[in-house]
Amino acid sequence: MTISFDPNPATVNGQKEMHELAVQHMRPWSRKYDVQEHDMPWEFVNPMWERATGKGGAKLDAGPGDGMVTVCVQTEELCWGDAGLYLRSPSPLLGGSAVAAAGTPEQREKFLSPFRSGKPKWGAMAITEPQAGSDAAAIQTTAVFDEATNEWVLNGTKIFCTAGDGALNYEGGIVVVWATVDKTAGRAGVKSFVVTAGTPGIKVVGCEKKLGIRASDTATLILENCRVPANHLLGKSEVKKSGGDQGFKGAMATFDASRPIVAAMAVGVGRAALDFLKEELERQGVTIRYDAPPAQQTAIERDVIDMEAELQATRLLTWRAAKMLDRGQRNNLEASQAKAKAGLAVTKITQKAVELLGPVGYSQKLLVEKWMRDAKINDIYEGTQQINQLIVARRILDYSSSVLR
Partner 1 sequence: MIDFQPTDEQQLVIDTVRQFAQNEVRPQARDCDESKKLPEKVLEQAHELGLVANALPESAGGGGERSAVTGALVAEELAWGDLSIALAILSPGLTAYPIAEFGSDAQKQTLSAFTGSRFVPGSLAWVEPRFDSDPFRPQTTARRDGADYVLDGAKCFVPWLDGGGDVLVVASEGGAPQAFLVPRDAKGLAAEREKNMGILALPTAELTLTGVRVPAAARLGGDAGADLRRVLNQGRVALAAMAVGVARAAFEVARDYAKERIVFGVPVATKQAIAFKLADMSIEIDAARLLAWEAAWKLDQGQDATREALLAKRQAQRIVMEVTDGAVQVFGGHGYIRDYLPEMHLRNARGFASFEALALV
Binding segment for its own copies (CB under 8 A), chosen from 92-100, 119-127, 300-308, 391-399, is 300-308
Q: 1 to 20, contacts with partner 1 by CB under 8 A?
A: 1-8, 11
Backbone dihedral angles phi then psi of residue 100, each to the nearest 5 degrees? -65, -35
Nearest-approach distance from CB 299 to its own copies, in angstroms: 4
Q: 61 to 120, contacts with partner 1 by CB under 8 A?
A: 63, 65-66, 69
Nearest-approach distance from CB 303 to its own copies, in angstroms: 8
Q: Is the dihedral of CA 152, 155, 160, 161 positive or negative?
A: positive
Binding segment for partner 1 (CB under 8 A), chosen from 83-91, 118-126, 189-197, 354-362, is 354-362
Select the binding partner of residue 173 from partner 1, its own copies, none (C-beta < 5 to 8 A, by kind): none
User: Residue 119's closest CA among 58, 166, 87?
Assistant: 166
Query: Using CA atoms, how far apart are residues 137 and 187, in angstroms rounded to an integer?
Result: 4
Q: Which helix (H) or strand (E) holds 227?
A: strand 218-229
Q: What angle do CA 73, 248, 227 make, to 5 degrees?
A: 100
- Interface with partner 1, residue 355, by CB under 8 A: yes
Nearest-approach distance from CB 9 to partner 1, in angstroms: 10
What x/- string results for residues 172 through 211 when contact with its own copies is judged by CB under 8 A?
A: ----------------------------------------
Binding-site size, partner 1 (CB under 8 A): 91
Q: Give the active site residue among 77, 301, 310, 382.
A: 382
- Interface with its own copies, residue 328, by CB under 8 A: no
Query: Using CA atoms, how far apart are residues 136 and 19, in angstroms rounded to an integer?
Result: 37
Select the binding partner of residue 362 from its own copies, partner 1, none (C-beta < 5 to 8 A, by kind): partner 1
- Interface with its own copies, residue 301, by CB under 8 A: yes
Nearest-approach distance from CB 143 to its own copies, in angstroms: 35
- The residues, any chain, with a CB within 8 Å of residue 331's CB and separated by 6 or more, are 256, 260, 321, 324, 325
Residue 369 appears among annotated catalytic residues: no
Which residue among 191, 266, 319, 332 contacts partner 1 (CB under 8 A)?
A: 319
- Interface with partner 1, residue 205, by CB under 8 A: no
- Interface with its own copies, residue 294, by CB under 8 A: yes
User: Residue 311's closest CA among 259, 357, 270, 264?
Assistant: 270
Contact by Cβ (8 Å): 281, 300: yes
Contact by Cβ (8 Å): 111, 94: no
Residue closer to partner 1 (CB basis): 234 or 344: 344
25-30 CB contacts, 8 Å cutoff, 24+ apart = 25/81, 26/78, 26/81, 26/82, 26/85, 26/86, 27/81, 27/82, 27/367, 29/82, 29/85, 29/215, 30/81, 30/82, 30/84, 30/85, 30/367, 30/370
Residue closer to its own copies (CB basis): 157 or 389: 389
What x/- string results for residues 356 through 375 when contact with partner 1 is judged by CB under 8 A?
A: xxxxxxxxxx---x--xx--
- Interface with its own copies, residue 297, by CB under 8 A: yes
Q: Which helix (H) or strand (E) holds 336?
A: helix 332-356
- Interface with its own copies, residue 289, by CB under 8 A: no
Instruction: With H, G, I as helix, E, B as strand and everything else as coil, classify residue 145.
Output: strand
Enzyme catalytic residues: 382
Binding residues for its own copies, per CB under 8 A? 286, 294-302, 355-356, 358
